[in-house]
Amino acid sequence: MHSMLAGRAATQGGPATEPASTPAHHTTTSNGVHRLAVDLFNYEAGGLSSDGRYDFDRLVEAFHPGRVPHVILLNEAKYWHRRGCTPLYQATNALSAALGRPYAALLGTSAMASAILYDPTVLTPESWNEIEFADKRQLGRFVMRGSGTRFAIIVDQWSPVDGDARLARARQLAPYGDSQLPVLLAGDLNCTADGQLLPQRDWTAVPEHRRAYKGRQDVDGTWGPDTRALGLLIGGWDERTDRRETGRVWHALPDLAYAGGAPAELAYRATTNEQINTGGELVNDWMLINDVWLRAGGLAGGSYQVHIPPGRTPAECPSDHRRISADLLL
């Protein structure tokens, strides 16, 4: 479905030999490295309004202008399975028409599912969403046409109110970090990570009954972000080196972007829009790659971006979350 990657392997997210650009349908470079353009977007309630109608015009609005990703990862596909998956196909067809790429779709099984849209002229799916096994839910395996390169994507949405549930999910997915298959974990993980470079929330402004949703109380009574789940995967922050701790087998794209030279205010830009969360915004939406993907190429230099919509009020924005885009080398 999505087109293949172009560019040269970059170390720790450093610059590739070819700059990021709007991807063509063929992404294989002369040296056999592929450049895969991936976008992540939490579309609020899947476009479902209170009157029961779906609005996919705002979904299309979020993906303009310019960029045509090979893979689109969507959260909050609310009730898209109903009526023979009619909402799923309406969304897929709307994006295909607007972006000029013939997307196909894979949908999860819950009422608030996640979905993968991909270009079948570039990728062939091998498996999807083995619901019998918790660690394989929302996991799709793909093969790149032509090269036969295999990789996996886990598109997930973690609990917005329960840090213990997020930590349990992180434990389920942690073993994919040292898998020999390249794996991308992406989605609205509803939590942030350690590090003062990331947006910080004023927890005193958060209503007391909501603080425990995404925060933790210290022994001295003060509140801070609950970073346990992401900390398990990507580690804490080393204040001495001003970098993420080394030795972990999952790697967050914002960290790779920062290590590759992106300014902190861009690499760690909040992924929710203004006036959404009391006390300030956080980085809640993440893309992580495992060790083998990083060694194969990682993040193309200059390609990670959190897109700020033109509107400033919630009513003017396509969703409460911002679209994230990145080019991955493999």
**Pick from 30-34, 236-240, 298-302: least confident:** 30-34
Q: Is the pLDDT of residue 95 over 70?
A: yes
Q: Which two tokens stand for residue 120?
A: 């079948």
E strands, the chain, are: 35-42, 71-78, 104-107, 112-118, 123-128, 139-144, 150-157, 183-188, 215-217, 223-225, 237-238, 243-244, 250-252, 285-290, 298-299, 305-306, 324-329
CA atoms within 13 A on the CB side of 312: 0
Whether 163 is in a domain gets the answer: yes
> Residue 134 and residue 28: Cα distance in Å, rounded?
34
Whether 3 is in a domain gets the answer: no
182: CATH: 3.60.10.10
Q: Is the pLDDT of residue 15 over 80?
A: no
Q: Is the pLDDT of residue 7 over 60?
A: no
- Residues ≥6 apart with Cβ < 8 Å to 93: none
pLDDT mean across residues, the chain:
90
Whether 4 is in a domain gets the answer: no
Alpha helices by DSSP H, listed for the chain, are: 57-62, 82-99, 163-173, 211-214, 228-234, 253-259, 264-267, 291-296
- For 232, counting Cβ atoms within 10 Å of its Cβ (0-12 exposed, 13-18 middle, 19+ buried), the class is middle
DSSP 321: B
Please name every residue paired with 213 in a beta bridge, in sequence order, or none if there are none.
Answer: none
For the segment 111-141, what is each residue's pLDDT rounded down to a tens digit? Answer: 999 999 999 999 999 999 999 999 999 999 9
What are the angstrom distances between the C-alpha of 34 and each of 11, 28, 116, 141?
15, 5, 19, 17
For the segment 62-90, what is each residue's pLDDT rounded down to a tens digit? Answer: 997 679 999 999 999 999 999 999 999 99
Q: How confident is the model at residue 30 (pLDDT cuts 50, 70, 90)?
A: low
pLDDT of residue 28: 66
Domain count, the chain: 1
> Residue 46 and residue 53: Cα distance in Å, rounded?
11
Whether 195 is in a domain gets the answer: yes
Whether 96 is in a domain gets the answer: yes
For the segment 299-309, what is each residue's pLDDT rounded down to a tens digit? Answer: 999 999 999 98
pLDDT of residue 29: 61
- Residue range of the domain that includes 133: 11-329
Q: How confident is the model at residue 11 (pLDDT cuts 50, 70, 90)?
A: very low
Q: Distance between alpha carbon 237 and the CA centroid of its chain, in Å? A: 21
Whether 291 is in a domain gets the answer: yes
Whether 121 is in a domain gets the answer: yes
pLDDT of residue 281: 87
Is the CB of residue 290 less than 8 Å from the CB of residue 190? no
Whether 38 is in a domain gets the answer: yes
Q: Is the pLDDT of residue 12 over 80?
A: no
